[in-house]
Amino acid sequence: MPELPEVETIKNELLPRVIGRFFARVTIIDPKVLRQPSVDEFCRKIVGQTVSSLKRQGKYLVFQLSSGKALIIHLKMTGALLLNPEQHSRHARALFQLDDGNQLILIDRRRLGAMWLVRDEATIIGKLGPEPLTTDFTAEIMASRLRGRQAPIKAVLLDQGFVAGIGNMYADEALFAARIHPLRKVNSLSSQEVQSLYHSIQDVLWSAIRDKGASIDTYVRPDGELGTAHFSFRVAHHRGELCPLCGTPIQRLPIRNRGTYFCPNCQKLS
DNA sequence: CTTGGGACCTGGCTGC
DNA sequence: TGCAGCCAGGTCCCAA
């Protein structure tokens, strides 16, 4: 499940392979992934266009094209972008043939992924909150953005309008590192706890980027290699295992219909 | 405005 | 062995 570190890794590894290249041929296998515009218009407007830049914002990939339009891709739960895969996948949704002979393939088992070709990227990614790993997101900014909210902290961390790129796994890991119970109301957190959570978010995300993402479920890098960030997870997806700090069984609790993993001893509610 | 619940989507796993 | 039902969760949509 690609969150910020996974999408960042995909962006970094795709970058040298696509910058300056143009699309020689594009095939939409599953029209459902293409949200905007129509298949015909998409193919007509993308073929021949050169990729001038590639960036990540939140969990979105943005390919800036020479025409001034942007190709935006969201991988959602099970999407992946593969370069020249050795075997054909029955989950292939779109093919991008580059002018140098390389082929970029969008695969997506659960068909939740999405793709847009738009003139104004803000129509798709304009509602995202600040990037957590830039100076747009300091501890002070985080504290001020939390002010006035009273939802459980876990739900707010998953709100892409609050901060962009944190998903279920890294929210659980950051809360564990900060020793904060995921159901704690935001307005009950002390300033020390907010400070601690801020640094935990930084640590967890940077560490996962260094490890090239977490290969839980279907995440693979463009060349087919896996990431290793999941080996450092302490609670996420550790259902039934023991807390690495105190040995208490890790608990699972649904929050907003998301499986939430935490240590009931290290992360107390009151 | 914030909050929370359901829908979307597929396939692996569990338990009867 | 077959099969129903749970689970995975990013984001959108809607209601309160």
pLDDT at res. A92: 95
A60 CA to B7 C1' in angstroms comes to: 22
pTM for this predicted structure: 0.96
Is residue A59 among the annotated active site residues? yes
pLDDT at res. A245: 94
List of residues 6+ apart from A180 with CB closer than 8 A: A153, A189, A193, A196, A197, A267
A172 CA to C13 C1' in angstroms comes to: 26
pLDDT at res. A216: 84
Nucleotide nearest A260, CA–C1', reads: C9
A216 CA to C16 C1' in angstroms comes to: 36
- A52-77 confidence digits (pLDDT tens): 999 999 999 999 999 999 999 999 99
Give exposure, A152-180, as e/b (b: 16+ Cβ within 10 Å).
bbbbbbbebebbbbbbbbbbbbbbbbbbb
**Beta carbon of A230 within 7 Å of strand C?**
no
Collect the ranges in chain A with pLDDT lower than 70: none
Is residue A210 among the annotated active site residues? no
Nucleotide nearest A151, CA–C1', reads: B3
Under 8 Å between Cβ of A255 and A183: yes
**Beta carbon of A257 within 7 Å of strand B?**
yes
pLDDT at res. A88: 86
A134 CA to C16 C1' in angstroms comes to: 36
Closest to A105 measured CA to CA, from A127, A82, A122: A82
- A158-210 confidence digits (pLDDT tens): 999 999 999 999 999 999 999 999 999 999 999 999 999 999 999 999 999 99
Q: How far apart are the first and last CA of chain A?
A: 31
